[in-house]
Structure 1
Amino acid sequence: MIHSMTAFARAEQAGAHGTLSWEIRSVNHRYLEPHLRLPEAFRDLEGAVREALRKGLSRGKVECTLRFAEDSSGRSMQIDSQRASQLIAAAESVASLIKQPAPINPLEVLAWPGVLVGDASDPQALNSAALALFHETLGELKKGRQREGEELARLIEERLDAITQETATLREQVPQMLALQRQKLLDRCAEMQVELDPQRLEQEMVLLAQKSDVAEELDRLATHVVEVRRILKSGGAAGRRLDFLMQELNREANTLGSKAFDPRSTQAAVNLKVLIEQMREQVQNIE
């Protein structure tokens, strides 16, 4: 199964001490590049989160954000006397350096982080709940990447069908185009009232056929198309392999364009390059 690198997932869980919520978003990137935003109280989770990402994903720039809204309703509030004393001592030390300092406001002391605390939450239980919720969110992200990957594979298959049709049409038209070139040469000689040596004519046509022989390029295009289909079917981390094949397909289309000697073959080369470029843009998002 093919997976995209672009997806978003969010999960939320309310508990006795507050509400945990995870947001994970990923975009295409050459390698796996995680970026974590965790509250200070949950820093111990960083190693486990990175390991889960490493096992679950192979490529993509992944941003993981954890939020915790603490619920203090129904919980007794207490003053951390030691922290409050330290804060007051620091404020008095600064006040001694100021002429006519304003008195210390008790409410401002209470508003300082860590001075007014509720019943202590169990940090281990919160970490366990946050990690379990992360695994759930990561699972949703992977499902989203899979759904988008299926759509990308469908779009690529459509372009492969068009390439197959384009090359088959060109293969059928090559003899007609050579015959047309032969007739044009004969018509030009007739207009100029020049008698053309039949042997020389055949030599010129042989040279033209050799220069315009695109059978090898068409065969290689067909081979690459088969390989792209095989990779799409086998799934896994296929983005880099598909990107390489896009380069090879584009190389063959360029060679076709350089050998074009008829408007139809020129147009076919242009059509192929457009289809390949459309596939290449989609492949950039595949894991």
Structure 2
Amino acid sequence: MPVYSMTGYASAQHNGAQAPSGQEARATTGRLGLEIRSVNSRFLDLSFRLPEELRQHEPALRELLQGRLKRGKVEVRGGVEGGAGDAVADPGARLLQRLASLQDTVRSWLPEAPALGVADVLRLSAAQQAPAGDWGEAVQQLARQALDDLLASREREGARLAAMLLGHLEQLRALAGQARPLVPQLVEQQRARFLERWNEAMALGGGTGGAPATEAAQDRALAEATAFAIRIDVAEELTRLGAHLDEIERLVKKGGEVGKRLDFLIQELHREANTLGSKSAALELTRISVDMKVLVEQMREQVQNIE
């Protein structure tokens, strides 16, 4: 399955002069348009901005989107524009008389109300003369078309995010490979340093104290070296980090609804990279930890957009 981003956009239009889906339907005038915008969100959050003519179709649109989208903040906008041939409606004497009467009534109660303009009269005239029309089937057809386009857009963006994540995984593996041999080298260097200091102490002391004291001092130096080795050992962190990287790669290649699981694994990666830095006893290991955290933070930003 592909990886889907939660970011996408799609739009579709329908000319009301055509009968929807080849069936005989009540006449509709104007042009119907739908657009769907989607951004990232923890859950599926649907909002609709529809004109009065389309408000009744909101439940059906909501059901359609809930059946195919799992996460994201999704906004659906709809509108009906113009009329057949973009003709200007003739208000007629009776309508003009009625509008004038209504205006007088309103302004008798609200003297500050503005007078009707030409654009207002023409708009009200068009609303009176336009057939009611039934956009139901056209709305469903457009919604399915726009939803298909949205999913295609989210799939393309998801493929780009997946490729970026896989690239970052390879970089993290390379950094882990650089860190792995550093710890044994540091342990050996510290062990040699402890023994060197022990030899210097023995030489300054003239080797007094006898063999038992000498052996005790040597054992203490080796114990300190061992404690240092335990303190800076990051083998466990590197092992867990490798396991997280493998799981992330498996999920990305599997696809589907993996965003929440990826987000959890990214948090675990960040924890291991932090621990690696806190145990660092060498500048090179600190640099590796910082580079890892930069990559993990970049991955976190990308994973926030995956469904």
Q: What TM bracket, shorter-length normalisation?
A: 0.7 to 0.9
Q: Can you list the C-alpha shifts for 1:56-104, whole angstroms capped at 9, x where unaligned?
A: 11111111111221224387956599876654433333565799xxxx9
Between the two proteins, the alignment pairs up a number of residues equal to 282
Matched, 1:199 2:219: yes
Match of 2:26 in 1: none
Match of 1:129 in 2: 138
- What is the alpha-carbon root mean square deviation over aligned residues? 3.0
Matching of residues 130-169 of structure 1 within 5 Å: 130-169=139-178
Q: Percent identity?
A: 38
> TM-score of the superposition, structure 2-length normalised?
0.80
Matched, 1:50 2:62: yes
Match of 1:59 in 2: 71
Match of 1:284 in 2: 304
Q: Judging changes above 3 Å, is the alpha-carbon distance between structure 1 residues 137 and 97 closer, same or farther for their aligned structure 2 residues?
A: closer
* 3-state SS, counterpart of residue 124 of structure 2: coil
Matching of residues 1-287 of structure 1 within 5 Å: 1-16=2-17, 17-73=29-85, 77=89, 87-94=99-106, 108=118, 111=121, 113-117=123-127, 120-121=130-131, 123-124=133-134, 126-186=135-195, 197-287=217-307
2-side partners of 1:242 and 1:160: how far apart? 13
Q: 1:3 deviation in Å?
A: 0.6
Q: 1:123 deviation in Å?
A: 2.3
Q: Judging changes above 3 Å, is the alpha-carbon distance between structure 1 residues 82 and 223 closer, same or farther for their aligned structure 2 residues?
A: farther
Q: 1:286 deviation in Å?
A: 0.7
2-side partners of 1:194 and 1:143: how far apart? 78
Q: 1:109 deviation in Å?
A: 9.9
* 3-state SS, counterpart of residue 156 of structure 2: helix
Q: Judging changes above 3 Å, is the alpha-carbon distance between structure 1 residues 86 and 222 closer, same or farther for their aligned structure 2 residues?
A: same
Q: Judging changes above 3 Å, is the alpha-carbon distance between structure 1 residues 285 and 94 closer, same or farther for their aligned structure 2 residues?
A: closer
Q: Tell whether the 8 Å contact from 1:109 to 1:115 is kept in structure 2 after alignment.
A: no
1-side partners of 2:236 and 2:173: how far apart? 15
Q: Tell whether the 8 Å contact from 2:11 to 2:146 is kept in structure 1 after alignment.
A: yes
1-side partners of 2:118 and 2:160: how far apart? 56
1-side partners of 2:268 and 2:64: how far apart? 35
1-side partners of 2:74 and 2:275: how far apart? 39
Structure 2 regions of 5+ residues with no counterpart?
18-28, 206-213
Q: Judging changes above 3 Å, is the alpha-carbon distance between structure 1 residues 227 and 97 closer, same or farther for their aligned structure 2 residues?
A: closer
Corresponding letter in the other structure for 1:282: Q
Q: Tell whether the 8 Å contact from 1:26 to 1:60 is kept in structure 2 after alignment.
A: yes
Structure 1 regions of 5+ residues with no counterpart?
none
Q: Judging changes above 3 Å, is the alpha-carbon distance between structure 1 residues 35 and 162 closer, same or farther for their aligned structure 2 residues?
A: same
